[in-house]
Amino acid sequence: MSENPQVKDILEHIETHERELADQAGELRARIEELTRQLGELDAESENLRITRKTLLTLPLPSPAAEPEAPDIPDHPAYQQILTALADAGRSMRARDLCQALDLPILPKNTEGIRSKLKRLVSRGILIEPEPGLFARPDA
């Protein structure tokens, strides 16, 4: 270093200013690193949203709700005969009334067989039982 006091003061001033500039540069570099990290997070989130939008646009539209299927009527012809007799009568009927409508003898085995079939039709939602032992079509 120079022995000249004026040059010495100027050099010290320059060193002080260099340190200040280095500190400011360090602070700016730290801010740049933080902003770069935040920018990376925002870019990643934006990309996720873009992918989500693209995926949603490629999904097929849901099909409209289908009409509920009619309940399955058991295959035995007696069930169809019971339903026909109820439709023809147009009113609620008891097992005994159905035996008469179907020209079956009024015997316990016949009325219990018809009652059993009526209960099965109720359990499948084909008939309703508005009161115990009385059976009807839901649309009647």
- Helix H or strand E encompassing 5: helix 5-58
- The whole-angstrom separation of Cα 23 and Cα 96 is 104
- The whole-angstrom separation of Cα 94 and Cα 87 is 14
- The whole-angstrom separation of Cα 24 and Cα 20 is 6
- The whole-angstrom separation of Cα 114 and Cα 112 is 5
pLDDT tens, per residue, the chain with 140 residues: 568 888 888 999 999 999 999 999 999 999 999 999 999 999 999 999 999 999 888 888 877 776 666 677 888 888 999 999 999 988 999 999 999 999 999 999 999 999 999 999 999 889 999 999 999 988 76
DSSP state string for 11-76:
HHHHHHHHHHHHHHHHHHHHHHHHHHHHHHHHHHHHHHHHHHHHHHHHSPPPPPPPPPPPPPPPSS
pTM (whole model) above 0.85: no
The per-residue pLDDT for 59 is 86
- Residue 43 CB partners (closer than 8 Å, separation 6+): none
